[in-house]
Structure 1
Amino acid sequence: MVISAPPATAPEVVVLPSAGVAAANPAPHGWTTHTVRPGDTLIGIAARYRTTVGVLAARNEIRDRGHIVAGTRLAVPRTTPAKSAKRPTPQQPRTVHVVRSGDTLIGIAARYRVPLASVLKANRLTARSVIHPGQKVTVRAAAATATAARTVAKGTRYRVRAGDTLGAIAIRHRTSVGAIARASGISTRSVIRPGQRLTIPGRAGGSTTTAKQPVPDTFNGVRYPRSVAEAAARNRAILAKRSVPSRTTTKSMIVSTARRHGVDPKLALAVAYQESGWNQRAVSPANAVGVMQVIPDAGRWASDLAGRRLDLLDPQDNVTAGVVILRALGRATTSPEKAVAAYYQGLGALQKHGMYTDTKQYVRTVMALRKTM
């Protein structure tokens, strides 16, 4: 509604019906400032800013409505939306990611460097949602983020072979699981499949033989003491020279050992596959050794459980260690999921803190693998 200003000599009038003023928002577009100039009147200012004298007087605590001083700054309603509000909020770039084998929601979020919550919200999913190869997932990210996702660090391409795990590949290429996961757009706990292609970062055009490579001491974002990393390197060197069973033989070994100790063979197979891909030569920088990825302290506990000393470098003993640990954890917890969580996180930490975020992903992966065994 347009209101014309009355003559300066006219008596004060009600510019808007009182009922309308009471119900209306006096400043629908917010407030701004007006500096009183010589000759200004409150009535004229009210008309200019499409409001009433009463609104101005109340907002600025003016008692004498007939007298305002030049130079005074008054709060007045904006007559139009602020300039910043005029400009529409730029839409975040929208990327559609086609799910591939081995993808997880966490991995997709990591690839595009956006919070997992934003991926879930954009696709009306929950953290428990299952995604399938070929499914389309919408990712909304800032322009710089989207660009960064398309320009991942250059590196060499690696085709996954039977028995490979992210840990073993990282060790072989003198890098970390996290670096491969980021470069390949997957989670550090993704299940990788033979034939899948991964990106090994930081090796494009470089030589791997011209300089001595450092002993890897970081795994899954955790850096281990030098002594642990060096012990792992020694075990790795020992196993590299030894004959180890094939994956088929290892699988049979896991099944028979699990049955002998009263453990679900499919669960043992799934844990072993997630840990090492049934590869006895796998040794992590944390010095987790062999098929079941058992660290020395856990190996000593397993020896007590088995009633004899177990050599983690021996394939059968390694499998036995992992299986009897799973048996003990199964008895100490209330579900296979919690037993698997304790295998990954540690029973004490699980009882004290519950499952960590990465533990939940590990459990989901293992339980999904179990169904395929």
Structure 2
Amino acid sequence: MRARPAPQRALRTAAITASAALAFTAFAGLPASADERHQVKPGETVSGLAVRYDTSVSSIVKANGLNSRALIVIGQTLTIPSSSSSQAASSSSGTHTVVEGDTVWDLARKYGTTVSTIVSTNKLGANATIRTGQRLSIPGATNGAKATATSNTVGSSSATHTVAAGDTVWDLARKYGVSVSSITSANSLGSKAIIREGQRLSIPGASGSGTTSASSGGGLSLATDDNLQEFGGTTQTYTVKGGDTLAAIANRFGVTTSSIVSANGIKNASLIRIGQSLTIPGGVPTGLVGDTFAGRTYSDAVVGAANQNKATLNAMDVPTRAQIQSMIVAKAKELGVDPALAQAIAYQESGFNMRAVSPANAIGAMQVIPSTGEWVSDLAGRELNLLVPEDNITAGVTLLRHLTRGGRDLETAIAGYYQGEAGVAKYGMHADTRQYVASVLALMNRF
């Protein structure tokens, strides 16, 4: 029931990787001048901006009041503290022995230094590749790292957490303000970060109070075809490339040609030059999600909302596919749904990819559209934000619980997830629905 009444298929193409906590964005050339203001462009992350301006991730997060995931969105204007102010805290140095799951971004945040400083000091190259067991020099460390460090301790504090039903390492990392890798390393959990109810975990560097809700939404705004206009009005900048026309640029950003002409004082709309910088008023992201899939073309408003949600997810730190899978299993057990069914549906829909968004604006690992998410929120007893991984999974698994209630036929339930329960009851299974059901049943044997 990702869409009602028409069936949709989920995009299975790989998402653009732009996670602020799990990806390192390399910039060629020397660091840019530390401008006091920076407007976020598609694909940018806090870690990438820290490299570009030769400052630290933590200083950007603090200067702009960002949350623990360092979420930024296209069009947002950030204050970029100067590198001198962000690095003036200490001239001490230390070493760190890389453990599984470490990233240069995590280490820069942990030791209060910059990504570029670690990269240049250790001659890591443009991709900032590090390997388990490698010893890194950490100049300017501010967390007392004068001795060799092998644990991912962000601060001097620590906590113990007893795993409750539904807990995941990703949720705990967000709750206590630490990295996933720090918890997995401290507790020798392995690459899948599997935890069990009742297990006692050490949380090194815990900064959270232990009361933060993992599903609060974190202020994330879900875009729909009804509220898309609320995301407009954000000014963006675009540099003209070869072959560009004003009409094509306007279409790309979802604005009118006349609005670009007016904003830039253009006298002849046919005369723009390569390298020219244009102000794009009121634009929303485009080009991240197509408008057609499986023979269906979706309205501009739906596709626009899908692009906005895709941009938001691209800018977020989200769980890995393995972590998403573990979260789905835990939620299925909690709600009394066959874990094999929940995993098969999620794999069929997105390949456990939380950043997946389809042209129909089906969102996240479970590929739930906003109208269905709103309806399922009533079943769940609380408002669900489909951009939040925990809520996205809760929505999908809650829907499966509804579709399989009372021992209903499994094939009909699977068809209902794809085509809509009412659509199956009224029209029977469409041909593509039957293919979907067969695929999900086969995948259940895998899980």
TM tier, smaller: 0.3 to 0.5
Report the TM-score when normalising by structure 2: 0.37
Greater RCO between the two (CA within 8 Å, min separation 6)? 2
More helix per residue: 1 or 2? 1
Report the TM-score when normalising by structure 1: 0.44
Larger radius of gyration: 1
